[in-house]
Amino acid sequence: MKLVQYFEKMQALPPDKQAEVFDFIEFLVVRSSIQVTIKPCLAEWLLVMPDVGLDEDFARVDESEVVGDVFN
């Protein structure tokens, strides 16, 4: 649906329903702005973390070796 069609549908609504739509839009803006403020904090926290889980942190498994069942 094109933006023009949204505006046409909005104008066709009674004034009280238009107010409800605007209130809902404001709610979404507030909710999304809260999420935006949380994401930079999380990003900063992740940038401070040491480099964990790099390839050199894990030993390579030589699949040519026959490994027995670890539970027996």
The pLDDT tens digits for 18-46 are 999 999 988 988 887 766 555 667 667 66
Q: Give a yes or no: residue 34 inside a domain.
A: yes
Percent of the chain clearing pLDDT 70 (strictly above): 50
- Decide: 18 and 10 in contact? Cβ < 8 Å: yes
Return the SS3 of 24: helix
Q: Give a yes or no: residue 36 inside a domain.
A: yes
Q: Provide the pLDDT for residue 24.
A: 92
- Decide: 42 and 49 in contact? Cβ < 8 Å: no
Q: Give a yes or no: residue 42 inside a domain.
A: yes
Average pLDDT for the chain: 75
Counting the structural domains of the chain, the total is 1
Q: Give a yes or no: residue 64 inside a domain.
A: no
Q: Choose among 1, 2, 21: nearest CA to 10.
A: 21
Q: Which domain holds residue 26?
A: 17-49
Q: Give a yes or no: residue 22 inside a domain.
A: yes
Q: Give a yes or no: residue 31 inside a domain.
A: yes
